[in-house]
Amino acid sequence: MLKVDTIEMGTVIDHIVAGRGYRVMQLLGVSEDYPNRVALVTNVPSKKMGKKDIVKIEGKTVDEKTVNLIALLSPGASVNLIKEEKVEKKYLVELPKELKGAGTCPNPNCITNSEYCERRFKQEESRYRCNYCERLFPPGELV
């Protein structure tokens, strides 16, 4: 059995789609030179998902904008904010109806990729429409 130590303060992201844990770490700005403890566990057996990834990061908490980006990569993930070794707050991430100031338009010709504009996307069924170029994209392409 794998055991990962508890953390005093930080974030645990569970129920990440298998294989996407590393991308979640990149979204959080965690790289090889991050000064605190980090655990990335991949392909963990899960009754709910078959397989899942888990990310545990000491010393980092996430804001709503980052939770929305995590949702784009792995809808249904859970984000646990840890304080004094206990879960202080828990979010079940869901795809947001609208993204403001988050995500990147994959269209290289979109004005948001050449000029400063607040990026905005609206959800239409299971995809997102860029407010500027009006193209539709699957959620995972916005991160």
pLDDT tens for 12-68 read 999 999 999 999 999 888 988 999 999 999 999 999 899 999 999 999 998 878 888
CATH 3.40.50.720 fits 98-142, yes or no: no
- Residues 56 and 60: their CA atoms lie apart, in Å, by 10
Instruction: Return the half-sphere exposure (C-beta side, CA atoms, 13 A cut-off) of residue 140.
Output: 7
- Residues 79 and 133: their CA atoms lie apart, in Å, by 32
Sequence spans of domains, the chain: 9-92, 98-142
CATH 3.30.70.140 fits 9-92, yes or no: yes
Domains 9-92 and 98-142 share a fold: no
- Per-residue pLDDT tens for 88-131? 999 888 888 998 888 899 999 999 999 988 999 999 988 999 99
Amino acid, single-letter form, for residue 8: E
Q: Give φ, ψ of 45 to 5 degrees.
A: -60, 140
Q: pTM of the prediction?
A: 0.83
